[in-house]
Amino acid sequence: MQMSLVIDANKCTACLQCEMACSYEGEGVFNPTKSRIKIFPFHEEGIFVPYTCTQCDEAWCMHACPVEAIVLNKTTGAKEIVNDLCVGCKVCTIACPFGTVNYNADSGKVIKCDLCGGDPECAKACPTDAITYQDANWTGYDKMKDYAAKAMPAK
Amino acid sequence: MSWTKKVLRINLTAGTCSPEPLNMEWVEQFLGQRGLATKYLTEEVPPTTDALSPENTMYMITGPLTGTMASTAGRYSVVTKSPLTGAVACSNSGGFFGNEMKCAGWDMVILEGKSPSPVYISINDDKAEILPADEIWGKSVWEADEWLHTKHQDPQLRVAAIGVSGEKGVLYSAIMNDLHRAAGRSGVGTVMGSKNVKAVVIRGSKGVDVQDPKAFFDATNAGKKILAENPVTGEGLPALGTQVLMNVINEMGAMPTNNWKDSVFEGASKISGEAMLEPRDSDGKANLTRNGACFACTIACQRVSTIDPEHFSVQNRDDLHPSYHANSGGLEYEAAWALGSDTGVDDIDALTYAQFVCNEQGLDPISLGSTIAAAMEMYEEGFITKEDTDGIELNFGNAEAMIKCTELVALGEGFGAELGQGSSRFCAKHGHPELSMTVRGQEFPAYDPRGIQGMGLGFATSNRGACHLRGYTVASEVLGIPIKTDPLETEGKAGLQIAFQNATAAFDSAGICIFTSFAWSLEDVAPQLNAACEGEWTPERLGEIGERIWNLERLYNDAAGQGASADKLPPRLTEEAVKTGPAAGKVNGLATMLPEYYAERGWSPEGDVTADTKARLGL
């Protein structure tokens, strides 16, 4: 079963546990600037929004890469960077409409979410279930259930 | 690991920024943050130094866990000599500034001397600069924050700044970071202002490493689980914030009201955490929008709030910063009490407005509210008149008056400049020092020690002046953590205070939030430190470090003239009995507890640290 990251901004407190888990998994250091997932606080609106790669099927980044350094992981559906092939040209960072592929100046390669091989650390670290890893075919399940509860006929 | 072992020393007089190694011998004795910076202070700043002179030094310091994934591990402290108390000042803050300092590769930033003109400090990893701040001098924290983000073209820059109050010498000015988080007490912002420093901005990209990652994840995950399953850290604080206490403390008759004349506040439920959830008439929204977290915090007690758009404080006020008409850092218990029940004001929107002003201009709402409350009693008693108050009718319960005073103090103007000297100086000036509810010149927090006896001993002996965050025996006396003790009894409270004071000093030196101690003991902290750091950190060793820190602070205060002679409470708390509620008839039994405390501390009957105790602790 293919799985997908599901984000519910209404549950996010902006604690950045996800950013640290991500940076540690990817770079071996607690460093939010090296995270593939970012939390965006909108102070005046009073909301915190986690944002990361949605693993598009027809991924702009993958199509744009001139050296085929972005490949599909058929098990997880993730589009993964092959570091040995990446030349750091950054065309994928331009192609991605969402900004979720970014250049890492320390390594000279790009970085993006790879779903941690199917066990995403951000979801495990999230203390409020704002980030969960669910059946890709049923990412709307919880929302549907909430609305179903509202539509439930009174006893 | 976990310590970067690097210190950035900034001499503002000479205009230099110099890296130096962290003193790792002192780390062995004092761990980090509160303890370690206090050691630096005691070695570098003579106790008799004028706190607002260039000879005072300010230490912004992280703990070993700061910047890691341990829950709440974003803390930093500001240590200096306090202009409010003349004693040691140590104010702890969350937000995202401490972790950024660590991420940039620094354990501590030291500000010494005084700049000849307004400046701010910019730190980008190894690069540190002293830059002109003329364009933001005179601006609020929020305005400065926006200007700095624009100037550096970096939305991820972390900013700690002072407001106008800190520039103007209000003695309880705070350093605000990340807009709403405060190193709040004892006037650390005033010291920063006295050095002509408006802000410190940091951007770090190096990250923080730990000694044993596998053990670290095991230990921190175990810690997070304990926090999640604890009723205070897992339910009460996320749902209602610190305001979870308003109704609890009021119901036990320990809610100081009208400058501590009363101990039960009729309007408590109207300004409580529960009230913040109630939809209002004007727009159907509740005061509370949601809860938020500081860096790495899995508790998330922070309030994100709005003011009723039809409330007089904000209606038709185009002059205000846009955040007053939107979401901002909401009401905390200590602000709700000091600006609310202590002044008799039960208007939750007035209090939220005053909280926003405190955040925007960098003020300690505890000292502010308590000083206004003392002035209200002086006004009602006829000791001051409208001629003294810039025409303000300063009666208890007058929300407009409370707001007007808050605005004047925030700008250090007129009557506000006088209130900005704190209640001790204010009451003394007008001939009634007994009406100042302070210890060592610092205003009390929201717990009447006639109804919670152990807190009276805690206030009297607190090294930074009256404070709830030095030995929070409320946890035991009210909440039953770790064991329930009778709040109306003095027996056993000396030992209880000492245990809390020592453990708190260790928590405060580790890089984590003291709120974890509702659920964690040092037994839970030790494995996290052990996995993150080199060396062996047992609960016993951490307890001893806590005791060493407490004694070091005390020795400094002794030499600064703020030792045993200042271990006392105002007569209202030891002579005037509580009138109503569960604590009716009670006064605080400090005279009974204090000799026991001195003896159990290993101090002389006069309250001096003995040579034996010093030798035992290696001081």
Q: A152 pLDDT band (50/70/90 cuts)?
A: confident
pLDDT tens digits, residue range B191-216?
A: 999 999 999 999 999 999 999 999 99
| CB contacts, 8 Å: A24 with chain B | 69, 213
Q: A1 pLDDT band (50/70/90 cuts)?
A: confident
Q: Does B68 touch chain A (CB under 8 A)?
A: yes
pLDDT for B608 equals 97
Helix (H) or strand (E) holding B124: strand B119-124
Q: What is the CB neighbour count within 10 angstroms for residue A128?
A: 18
- Using a pLDDT cut of 90, give the percent of chain A over it: 93
Spell out the residues 6+ positions from residue B556 whose beta carbon is closer than 8 angstroms to its own.
Answer: B38, B41, B42, B47, B87, B88
pLDDT for B1 equals 65
Q: Which of A13, A34, A41 sits opposite B291 (nearest CB)?
A: A13
Q: B453 pLDDT band (50/70/90 cuts)?
A: very high
CB contact under 8 Å between A33 and B204, yes or no, is: yes
pLDDT: is B38 or A155 the higher one? B38
Domain boundaries, chain A: 1-52+119-155, 55-112
The distance of A20 to chain B (nearest Cα, Å) reads: 6
Amino acid at position B145, single letter: D
Q: Which of B227, B242, B237 is nearest to B447 (CA)?
A: B242
Arithmetic mean of pLDDT, B554-560: 98
| CB contacts, 8 Å: B225 with chain A | none
User: Structurally, what CATH architecture does the domain formed by A1-52+119-155 represent?
Assistant: 2-Layer Sandwich (3.30)
- B6-203 folds as Aldehyde Ferredoxin Oxidoreductase;  A, domain 1 (3.60.9)
- B447-617 folds as 1.10.599
Q: Which of A15, A29, A33 sits opposite B297 (nearest CB)?
A: A15
| CB contacts, 8 Å: A20 with chain B | 68-69, 296
B467, B473 contact by CB (below 8 A): no
| pTM score | 0.97
**Is residue A154 predicted with pLDDT exceeding 80?**
no
- CATH 3.30.70.20 is right for the domain spanning A55-112: yes
Domain boundaries, chain B: 6-203, 257-436, 447-617
Q: Do domains A1-52+119-155 and A55-112 have the same CATH topology?
A: yes
pLDDT for A155 equals 66
Arithmetic mean of pLDDT, B82-88: 98
**Is residue B342 predicted with pLDDT exceeding 90?**
yes
Q: Does A24 touch chain B (CB under 8 A)?
A: yes
CB contact under 8 Å between B224 and A33, yes or no, is: no
The distance of A154 to chain B (nearest Cα, Å) reads: 24
Q: Does A130 touch chain B (CB under 8 A)?
A: no
Q: Does B69 touch chain A (CB under 8 A)?
A: yes
Quick one: three-class SS letters along B356-394? HHHHHHCECHHHHHHHHHHHHHHHHCCCCCCCCCCCCCC
- For domain B257-436, give the CATH number: 1.10.569.10
Arithmetic mean of pLDDT, B348-376: 98
CB contact under 8 Å between A14 and B328, yes or no, is: no
Q: Which of B152, B167, B377 is nearest to B258 (CA)?
A: B377
Buried b (16+ CB within 10 A) or exposed e, B393-423: ebebebbebbbbbbbbbbbbeebbbbbbbbb
